[in-house]
Amino acid sequence: MDFSIATSVEGLPEFLAYLVASLVLVLIYVVVYSAVTPHNEFGLIRQNNSAAMIAFSGSLLGFALPLSSAVTNSTSIGDCVVWGLVALVLQILAYFVLRLPIDNLSGRIVEGQIAAGGWLGAGSLAAGLVNAACMTY
C-alpha cells in the first residue's frame, strides 16, 4: 500500500461541512433547550449544582446520539440538517414528557436534588438512544 496525503485528506471538505453543520445544530439545541427549561442550566452549573449538570449532560448526550446517527446515515448535508432538526424537536419533547411524572422537576433541580437531575438526564439519554436507533432507516 502506498501512502498519499492527498488520498488521505480527499474527504476533508465533506468532513468539515458535516462538522460545522453538527456544531451549529448542537449550539442551536443548547440555546433552545436552555430557553424552554424554567431553570438556568449554566448558572446552576456555575454554582456547582450537580443535579443541573446531570440533567443537562444527559440531555446534551441525548441529542448528540441521534445527531451522530443523522450524520452517519444521511445522504447529504441537507439531509443531515433535516434529521438533526428532527432529533432536536424530539429531544425537546422528551424534556416535556419527562416532567410529567415528577412534580416541580425544574424546582427540584434548582434545589440540587440529584434524583431529579438523574431522572431528567437518564430519561433524556434514553430518549436519544431510541431516537438514534430509529434513524438508522
pLDDT digits (tens, 9 = 90+) for 16-47: 999 999 999 999 999 999 999 999 999 999 99
pLDDT digits (tens, 9 = 90+) for 56-106: 999 999 999 999 999 999 999 999 999 999 999 999 999 999 999 999 999
Domains contained in the chain, number = 1
- Whole-structure pTM value: 0.91
Range of the domain at 66: 5-134
**Max CA pair span of the chain:** 63
The C-alpha cell 424537536 sits at 89
Q: How far is CA 43 from the centre of its chain?
A: 19
**CA distances (Å), 16 to each of 22, 77, 134, in order?**
10, 11, 25
